[in-house]
Chain A
Amino acid sequence: MRLRTIATLTSQAVRNLKRPTCMTTTVVVMACMLALSLFTLVAVNLTVIGRQLQAGVELRVFLLPDAGPDAVASLERSIRAIPGVSRISYVPKDEALRRLEAQLGDENGLFIEDMPYNPLPDSFDVSVRRADEAESIARRIQELEGVEDIVYGREMVRNLVGALRVMWAATGAIAVVVLVGASMVVANTIKLSVLAHNREIETMRLVGASDAFILFPFVVEGLLIGVIGAAVASLMVFAAYSLLIRWIGSAAPFLKLVADPAWLASAALSLVGFGAVVGLSGTIISVRRHLRVDVQDV
């Protein structure tokens, strides 16, 4: 199709958009997109906050008391080789005792000095990259030779991972519902639009207009409904979220929300892209059903 034809057909679609049904549908799409973006923002922020907590997830690997320096070195190499391990540091038992003293403070420190020998084993502090991998990494370390026991915040890790999973599942579900629901609404609107132009479409066919020529304005109409709905929604969310960030920055500075402008911009763009997908799929659903009239019915 030539550019000029595309321009003509597009302006026709824009004129169609002014009908009340199209307006209503755009608002519905917008509402869906609002819900979707709210869920996404909550999920993303929980994940980021979770990551910050996860960064503190450390395994403490206690060694068997009779491990020699060679065994310690080879164990360290083995642990470092496990995928997902981000950091490992050796804590000899004297160091562990010193830390304990520091933790307990002066008064109780006296009690430690009274002990006849150091009861603590040598150990490794192992940091893992992701909390949900902590358990499997712990299991692998347990199997290595020279390891006595492993301690880590099992419950905390499990709860965090579980909560994030639920949050993302809900967001995914909302995305699917929005995709299907909003597409159906768009499909219905385009169907009405097609029906309203039924006689015209018949005439265009008889004059020799191709399917593409006839379909194009409807496709643009659906696309615009999706894109405009999503764009308005993302503008609203963007404005509200900026206010929220500023407010939290002063009221609760310890909460570090996602504020990277590049990320926010790309999220807004993705939302608009999602709107385009919704609009297009809605149009395709409805056009396939209502425009595939065979010549015999003309």
Chain B
Amino acid sequence: MYGVTKVYPGDVVALDDVYLTVEKGDFVFIVGQSGAGKSTLLSLIYRGTVPTRGQVFVDGRNIVRLRRREVPLLRRKIGAIYQDFKLLPDRTVYDNVAFALEVIEAPPKDISRKVSQALEMVGLSGKATCLPDQLSGGEQQRVAIARAVVNDPLILVADEPTGNLDPETSNGIMALLSDVNCRGTTVIMATHNQAIVDRMRRRVVEIEAGRIVRDERQGTYCHEA
């Protein structure tokens, strides 16, 4: 990410001249106050937004000038967990997770095997036939996680994946993300969860009002004095 500035309509400067490089296989926490620009930063990666200025490279490709039909191809390489989950309300838990595989037209056998695995990982095997409305916030979040990891993405973009979870489930999710990371997936995660960041001791990037103010290899949530 080179010199990226994002100005939303109404002159809201969400990101201001940001330079950030994440190596393949890295695990990065993005921290910062609410409204600092974490979600905006993440959305640049899956082209949920395009920068007002600057360039964004994913897997060696500049994705700012992507042709329309190339956008889905980019997104299939990236698993994303959205802050508001973005589940399909009229599909069951199973179908929501399967959808990520259906769009790449995976063989039906692979779909059922991978979806079952993913649901087991997040502990939702018993709720496969529920609709998202019938789940608690934390359960919906775990469906979103299952969907994000089900097709073994190159990069996992996670926007507050532990936002609605109790500490125990959060730890389970973090173990899951570490697992995915160990298998080679780059994980970029925005979070407010101080305990997790401090315990994991991974790279921490802090954003404040759209600028990167700190970048530590084995950082903690707060700046160490």
A residues bordering B, Cβ < 8 Å?
1-2, 4-5, 8, 199-200, 202-211, 213, 295-296, 298
Contact = CB atoms under 8 A, between A and B. Distances in A.
Given A209-B103, A295-B47, A296-B50, A203 B88 contact: yes
Nearest to B8: A296
B108 interface: yes
Given A200-B88, A206-B75, A207-B147, A213 B48 contact: no
Contacts of B87: 203
A8 B105 CA distance: 11
Contacts of A209: 72, 99, 103
A8 B102 CA distance: 10
Contacts, number: 58
B143 to A, nearest CB: 12
B89 A200 contact: yes
A63 B50 CA distance: 88
The 8 residue pairs across chains A and B that have the minimum distance between CB atoms: A208-B75, A208-B76, A209-B103, A203-B86, A210-B72, A208-B72, A2-B105, A207-B100
A204 B88 CA distance: 8
Given A208-B74, A211-B68, 4 more contacts: A204-B88, A205-B71, A207-B75, A211-B72
Interface string B52-91: 0000000000000000110111111000101000111110
Nearest to B100: A207
B20 interface: no
Nearest to A5: B105
A208 B90 CA distance: 18
Nearest to B148: A207
Contacts of B72: 205, 208-211
B48 A295 contact: yes
B46 interface: yes
Given A206-B80, A208-B76, A210-B69, A4 B108 contact: yes
Contact of A207 (B68, B69, B89, B99): B99
Contacts of B73: 208
A95 to B, nearest CB: 79
Contacts of A4: 108
B104 interface: yes
A100 B105 CA distance: 85
Interface in B104-125: 104-105, 108
- For the residues of A in contact with B, the DSSP-based class is helix
A199 B85 CA distance: 12
A209 B108 CA distance: 17
Contacts of B48: 206, 295, 298
B86 A206 contact: yes
Contacts of A295: 47-50, 71
Contacts of A210: 69, 72, 103
24 contacts: A2-B105, A4-B108, A5-B102, A8-B102, A202-B86, A204-B88, A205-B71, A206-B46, A206-B48, A206-B80, A207-B100, A207-B103, A207-B147, A208-B72, A208-B73, A208-B104, A209-B99, A210-B69, A211-B68, A211-B69, A295-B47, A295-B48, A296-B49, A298-B48
A109 B169 CA distance: 119
Contacts of B80: 206
Contacts of A200: 88-90
Nearest to B86: A203
A30 B88 CA distance: 34
A207 B153 CA distance: 11
Nearest to A15: B90
A286 to B, nearest CB: 19
B44 to A, nearest CB: 11
Interface string B110-154: 000000000000000000000000000000000000010000000
B91 to A, nearest CB: 9
A1 B104 CA distance: 10
Interface centre among A2, A203, A206, A208 (most CB of B within 10 A): A208
Nearest to A1: B105
A18 to B, nearest CB: 13
A211 to B, nearest CB: 7
A10 to B, nearest CB: 14
Given A202-B86, A203-B88, A295-B71, A208 B103 contact: yes
Nearest to A200: B88
